[in-house]
Amino acid sequence: MLQNISSILPVGVTSAQIRARDEVCSKHGAYVAKLGLRDLWTRCPQCVAEEQKAETKQLLAVMQAENQAKQKIMAVEKAIVDAGIPKRFRDKRINHYVANTAEQKNAKSFAVEFVKEFETEHSGRNVVFHGNRGNGKNHLACAIANAVIERFGKTAHFTTANDMLRRIREAKSFDSNVTESQVIDALVSFDLLVVDEVRILNQNSEADARAFFDVFNARYAEMRPTIFICNGDLIEFEKSVGDLTMSRMKETGGRPWNVLFSWEDYRK
Ligand SMILES: [Zn+2]
């Protein structure tokens, strides 16, 4: 190979001389370019180093962004689990909700509007999802809670009326390490509270009815919405929550405070 190059060079010029030449980089000044692989002249070493450094930086930024995105997803997943959303409903989203009938479409558009309010400051309006067991009340309520967490980074909590009242009752006992007002404060603190199985209330005591109103009323004062799920009709709901809660429920500025889920069992 060397012999071949030497044979075509002018007399007195050696192959060693032609494999390096002086160049000037407009940015870094003089450098010696060398003939490298595939007969390409090497570029300014400082430019090459700078480019490599920039590429590394870019790669790191991409990796960091991916990492952050992954952490954000994990944080959202954790928030959904922490919110007490039952496992069955953790992956439910409003757009998964199949709406064929006018009632179903009404329920779905209610959910969309209700969630949209969290973008700014929620009006604090409350709602009861009522109707026969099944029918996707929990699906839609949990999808709303998931959206509130996922899209707006807000807090939500899912509980049954029974569970909520049991926690308040237990806090009253001597050996409890939390006070009743601490439990109520915690329930009030969530941006959205979903209370399932409200019907069970009317079988409980006066103290329970008062505790229930205390939570609802404090949330109402803070303009934090509550979604109630009642597997019965509105008469049954009113009997469960009492007149005071009921009259507060209706203060929604003309917007719906109840959504009927009356079609055939949703899960069939
Ligand atoms: Zn350069």
Q: Each residue of 126-178: pLDDT tens digit?
A: 999 999 877 889 999 999 999 999 999 999 999 999 899 999 989 988 888 88
The two structure tokens encoding residue 131: 């109707």
CA of 58 to the centre of ligand 1 (A): 20
Average pLDDT, the chain: 87
Mean pLDDT of 90-119: 92
The two structure tokens encoding residue 58: 């870019």
Residue 234 covered by a domain: yes
List beta partners, residue 230: 130
- pLDDT for position 2: 46
Domain identity same for 64 and 92: no
CA of 15 to the centre of ligand 1 (A): 26
Domain identity same for 126 and 153: yes
Residue 268 covered by a domain: no
DSSP string, 110-179: HHHHHHHGGGS------EEEESSS-TTHHHHHHHHHHHHHHHH---EEEEEHHHHHHHHHHHTSTT-SS-
Residue 265 covered by a domain: no
As for how many domains the chain has, the answer is 3
CA of 40 to the centre of ligand 1 (A): 17
pLDDT in tens, 44-81: 999 999 999 999 999 999 999 999 999 988 888 888 88
Residue 123 or residue 63, greater confidence: 63
CA of 43 to the centre of ligand 1 (A): 8
Model pTM?
Answer: 0.75
Domain identity same for 128 and 173: yes
pLDDT in tens, 28-41: 999 999 988 788 89
Residue 250 has pLDDT above 60, yes or no: yes
CA of 149 to the centre of ligand 1 (A): 50
For the domain that residue 141 is a member of, what is the CATH number?
A: 3.40.50.300
Mean pLDDT of 74-94: 89
CA of 20 to the centre of ligand 1 (A): 17
Residue 13 has pLDDT above 80, yes or no: no
Range of the structural domain that residue 180 is part of = 84-260
CA of 49 to the centre of ligand 1 (A): 9
